[in-house]
Structure 1
């Protein structure tokens, strides 16, 4: 069987070093659509090195996102990448991410769940620099066709949808070239750039990276609810429920309570087809 759950869970963590600087951060922010309007002071915090702060979702691409790829190469995990879907993503911040840094990453498989028709591999990465822990991230990876091995189904990840009218609703346009720019932060999957490859995958045109929608949503929450203060974010998690295309508009609804923002994200032009669900930002 391509997935040996016991072997994967017993394997030692995979470790490697990552580094980044202001150019990586600027490129990531531009890939999320930052800089519109270009001279807006609130946008310059994302696009000008002298004022730069780091959106916490940058953790998903720091070091070109090697943590997730390292986890998929763990002992006991031998899968066809064409059968892999990114089901969910969570980040816990231990302190603000610096504009420049070098850190050690330790990645391991912490769970393998049997969903009958698919397996879910949960990858956890812990990142620390010379001053201590920076962030912990978890990715839920669906592997189609690898279920049915008699394992634990795992916890229910879906939450009840927020009730009542949202406190905020904002829209963020996805530029036509945005996936081409975002992929320069490390996700080179041709699904996001090559029309022929996208058609073979069942789409009429290339789709936006799920983690780009993830970053766009966090930026919208930070700018709308947290007065642009990225350091207030403590954790951020979501479930990838659908796709978005370049040249579409993300409609982001936010329900705010003390210390928590719940959000749902949909494609406005496609009758609010879901893109992100079970989305929660915890903040100070």
Structure 2
């Protein structure tokens, strides 16, 4: 049986010890489009992401990728009770909540467990939770993520909750657009995600796509960076958490439109594709998307 919930749920994954440097942070920020607009090379707000100075600020989404940043092999799917194929996997959702600003360099350990396994009929959803701490045990951040495994449902498990976080029924408070570059996925994969789905045309075709797609976590970082610029004055230290459900794919060369609503303690976000192609224009990128303010 490819997925055995009895073995999977509650199982701990191998503990990961990792380090990161300011060079890793800078590469991550460049991978999610920081510094790409005209004037960013001299803009103090943009340079907070791209210059290794005392003003360097870490976007909290970096914490999601930090544990695997130096991995050069495709992601491992070696999880107790889960015998699944990488070509069948898509990122379902991602959350991170930080206990304080992430330092520009450091050392940490992350402990992860399989929290839930849901049976969606034609697919399965596997939910993982992780806690990152310093070697001394001081909390740094917590993450919760899910993967969507096509063709692995129907094992008789619970379907799981259906939740939604609608945006307000009014015009957004701020909007932005980011033009994804043709090489964006090739650059972002240097941040530790070597899944060939994002670089190898033959592998992408096997997975059912006409060409490689952008990493979901790259879109995730782009949207957080844009929302932070729109409603938090570009100050990443004001972000306490960020969560989203991956609602659609992005191809390199497309434009991600970001609409943001200031909703008190949170910023609510809608991210879609802006395209001249009527089949792609308005296609969702992230849904149930929010920033928790500090």
Alignment TM class, shorter chain as reference: over 0.9
Q: 1:38 to 1:261 in 2, by over 3 A?
A: same
Q: 1:187 to 1:13 in 2, by over 3 A?
A: closer
Q: 1:84 aligns with which of 84, 89, 95?
A: 89
CA distance, structure 1, for counterparts of residue 99 and residue 106 of structure 2? 15
C-alpha distance after superposition, 1:165-213 (max 9, x if no partner):
1111111111121111111001112222223333333323221111101
In structure 1, the partner of 2:56 is 52
SS at match of 1:14: coil
In structure 2, the partner of 1:277 is 287
Trace 1:84-233 onto structure 2 (pairs within 5 A).
84-129=89-134, 130=136, 132-233=138-239
Q: 2:45 aligns with which of 34, 42, 52?
A: 42
Q: 1:202 to 1:163 in 2, by over 3 A?
A: same
Q: Kindly report the root-mean-square deviation, in angstroms, between the aligned alpha carbons of the 2 structures.
A: 1.7
C-alpha distance after superposition, 1:3-44 (max 9, x if no partner):
111111243453120110011100000001111322211111
CA distance, structure 2, for counterparts of residue 41 and residue 131 of structure 1? 35
Query: Does structure 2 conserve the Cα–Cα contact (< 8 Å) formed by 1:74 and 1:108?
Result: no
Q: 1:116 to 1:219 in 2, by over 3 A?
A: same
Q: 1:217 to 1:283 in 2, by over 3 A?
A: same
TM-score (norm 1): 0.94
Q: Judging by fraction of residues, say which structure has more helix.
A: 1
Query: Does structure 2 conserve the Cα–Cα contact (< 8 Å) formed by 1:3 and 1:76?
Result: yes
Pairs aligned (count): 282
Moved more, 201-210 or 215-224: 201-210
* CA deviation after TM superposition for structure 1 residue 161, in Å: 4.2
For structure 1, the 5+ residue unaligned runs are: none
CA distance, structure 1, for counterparts of residue 67 and residue 240 of structure 2? 21
CA distance, structure 2, for counterparts of residue 175 and residue 164 of structure 1? 31
SS at match of 1:62: helix
TM-score (norm 2): 0.91
